[in-house]
Structure 1
Amino acid sequence: MPALTFRNVSKTFGDNTVIKTFDAEIHDGEFLVLLGPSGCGKSTLLRMIAGLSDISSGDLLFNGEVANDWQPKKRGVAFVFQTYALYPHATVRENIAFPLIMDAFRKWYHLPVVNMIARARLMKRADIAERTLKIARQLELEPLLDRRPASLSGGQRQRVALARALVRNPSLYLLDEPLSNLDAKLRTQMRSEISALHHKVGKTFVYVTHDQVEAMTMASRIIIMNKGVVQQVGTPDEIYDQPANTFVAQFVGSPPMNLIPASIRDDTLKLSGKLVADLPAPLPKRREVTFGIRPEKLSLLGPGEGRLPAPVSVVERLGAETVIGCRLMTGDEEDDGRLLETGLVFVRVSGHLRMEIGQSCSLDYDADDVLLFDVENGQRLK
């Protein structure tokens, strides 16, 4: 199984630079997720690994050997496309077995009459038939083997596409947003199936998605990209707890991290002149910063009980949890406090919480849960 290394890799299409500089290492056997918004270069990277797109500059190494010019077949990868890419005229059995048949094909098999006879014989060959049936059983497709894709549901088609990728027993699996066309229930089911599959086969998976829930629940490591630039590399916990910058802080998490303009004055953190927290470490005497805290780290209290007065503006009841959106104030309402132009600050609490829009409350937190970001470049302050 290959370990992949990207060394100063970039990709351009004409005058348009899709990937600026990409340096990363994909370890043998890990489940790596490329996460980012649409157009950030995730799928382009996946196509370069598979050999379907050329590398404009830099090197891609398979186990230390430069593989820029390798043909896709030599790389030993399996590619699961976003749109399934099943053959509509072929049965599920024939779709799954197709890679094995092509590996056994000879040049003269492409002749019109010979082609049909050769394909039929190869489908009956013991090793191909056995391998196809084994993978079909693994993904619970055995009852569907004689059906065609048009008669399958979206989830069943996705499992057929996965089975076709698995049947060759490749060393590397590439999955390009394979769950984006499924409904919410099927996405949850397929996330579990793909994760279980990774543990079962023990091979390297590189998975592309813009869905942070998929990334957080499936990945052993995540690479977050934006506009062709790597923003952060780390485990799901590292990225959630210690985002490298404000982009990562708001891209990962639902609701995202609360980001509020603040300032440092004489080793204290202030929000529009209001004392927010003493800082444990010495910092510049005067500096504009961004105050960041996760919604679940905020405590929702009664009026005057917390440091930040914040009347309720939004209540989202989600069953197991309740999300409250508040607007911060410079002082208590009875002291003629005014609302700050900071947008909504979200608080996530477990269970059912009876709150009404307009209700007075306040927010509090542990200073250790606060992250500070540089205003100019968005980077987290260490």
Structure 2
Amino acid sequence: MPKLTFNNVCKSFGDNRVIDSFNATIYDGEFVVLLGPSGCGKSTLLRMIAGLTPITAGELRFDGEVVHSWEPRRRGVAFVFQTYALYPHMTVRANIAFPLVMDAFKKWYHLPIVNSIARRHLMKSPDIAGRTENIAHQLELEKFMERRPASLSGGQRQRVALARALVRDPSLYLLDEPLSNLDAKLRSQMRAEISALHRKVGKTFIYVTHDQVEALTMATRIIVMNNGVVQQIDAPQAIYDEPANTFVARFVGAPPMNLVPVSHQAGRVTVASGLAWDHDGGVPDAPRLLFGIRPEKLQFRAAGGGPISAQVAMVERLGAETIVGCRLISGNGTCTSRLLEHDLVLATIPGSPKIDIDDRCSLDYRAADVVWFDESTGARIPTR
């Protein structure tokens, strides 16, 4: 199983630079998720690994060997596409066995009459039949083997696509948004199945998604991308707790991290509206700061008493928890007007307490839960 090394890998389509100076190392047995918004270059990178799209500049190495001239078959990868890409005229059995049949195909098997006879003969061979049945058993597809894809549900089709990729026993698995066409319940089920599969086979998985829930729950490491540029490479919890910049802070997390432009002096934090409070902790020495905190880290106090005065502007009841959107207000009732990307500070609170729009409230927090960013660059500022 190869270790993948990317050295300043770039990809351009004409004058359009899709991936810019991608540098990363993916180690044997990892489950790496490429996470980012649509159009950021995730799928293009996956296709370059598979050899389906040429690299414009830089180097891609498998165990130290440059692979640019290698054909896809030589790279030993399995590719699971977003659209399943099953053959509609073939049964589930034939779809799963197809890569093994093609590996054993001779040139003269392509003759019109010989073709179908050869394929049927190869599918009945003990090796191909045994491997096909074994992978079908692992993914609970035995009772669908004689059906065609049109008669299967979305989740069943996805499992057939996975089985077809797994049956070859590749050294590297590439999955391009394989769950995007499934409903919420099936996505949750398939996340668990793919994670269990990774633990079972112990091979390297590279998984593309724009869904941060999939990334946080499945990955051993996440590579966050935006506009073809790597924003952060780290473990899921580290990316959530210590985002490298404001893009990562807002993209990872649902609801996203609150970012409030503030100034500070002598341990006192001030918002543009004039609202100010004492901050019992270290504050970076930068002229323009963003005060960042996750919604679940904010303590919502309906009766007031917290250091940050606010007014309820939005309530979303989700059963087990409630998301409250607040506008910060100063002592004279002035609302904040300069928050990043939206004008509400979100707090997540358990249960479904009685809260109404326009209620006065307050917010509190622990200094250790605050993440500081430089407002001018968006970069996180470490605090001592």
TM-score, normalised relative to structure 2: 0.96
SS at match of 1:40: coil
1:42 correspondence with 2:38 = no
Stretch moving more, 319-328 or 165-174: 319-328
Residue 264 of structure 1 deviates from its aligned partner by 2.4
* Distance (Å, rounded) in 2 between the aligned partners of 1:264 and 1:15: 44
* Distance (Å, rounded) in 1 between the aligned partners of 2:213 and 2:297: 19
1:67 correspondence with 2:63 = no
Q: How does 1:77-88 map to 2 (within 5 A)?
A: 77-88=77-88
CA contact (8 A) 2:293 2:370 kept: yes
* Distance (Å, rounded) in 1 between the aligned partners of 2:356 and 2:345: 16
Residue 281 of structure 1 deviates from its aligned partner by 4.0
SS at match of 2:217: helix
Stretch moving more, 348-357 or 141-150: 348-357
- The residue aligned with 2:350 is 350
Stretch moving more, 368-377 or 262-271: 262-271
CA contact (8 A) 2:267 2:278 kept: no
Q: How does 1:99-178 map to 2 (within 5 A)?
A: 99-178=99-178
SS at match of 1:173: strand
Residue 280 of structure 1 deviates from its aligned partner by 3.8
Residue 282 of structure 1 deviates from its aligned partner by 6.6
SS at match of 1:361: strand
CA contact (8 A) 2:284 2:372 kept: no
CA contact (8 A) 1:3 1:63 kept: yes
| CA deviation map 1:281-312 (0-9, x unaligned) | 4743x611111000011001134401111111
* Distance (Å, rounded) in 2 between the aligned partners of 1:16 and 1:100: 38
TM-score, normalised relative to structure 1: 0.96
1:339 correspondence with 2:340 = no
- The residue aligned with 1:302 is 302
Q: How does 1:1-382 map to 2 (within 5 A)?
A: 1-272=1-272, 273-278=274-279, 280-281=281-282, 283-284=284-285, 287-331=287-331, 336-341=332-337, 342=339, 343-382=343-382
Unaligned runs of 5+ in 1: none
Change (3 A) 1:314 1:25: same
* Distance (Å, rounded) in 1 between the aligned partners of 2:363 and 2:283: 25
SS at match of 1:127: helix
Supply the RMSD in Å over aligned alpha carbons. Answer: 1.2
Stretch moving more, 341-350 or 200-209: 341-350
Give the fraction of aligned pairs with identical amino acids, expressed as a percent: 65
Task: Name the aligned partner's letter for residue 351 of structure 1.
Answer: G
* Distance (Å, rounded) in 2 between the aligned partners of 1:253 and 1:211: 10
CA contact (8 A) 2:278 2:307 kept: no
* Distance (Å, rounded) in 2 between the aligned partners of 1:116 and 1:274: 77
Change (3 A) 1:113 1:140: same
Stretch moving more, 154-163 or 270-279: 270-279
Task: Name the aligned partner's letter for residue 22 of structure 2.
Answer: F
Task: Name the aligned partner's letter for residue 268 of structure 2.
Answer: T
Task: Name the aligned partner's letter for residue 314 of structure 2.
Answer: V
Stretch moving more, 344-353 or 22-31: 344-353
| CA deviation map 1:239-290 (0-9, x unaligned) | 0000000000000001000011101224533223433343644743x61111
CA contact (8 A) 1:277 1:367 kept: no
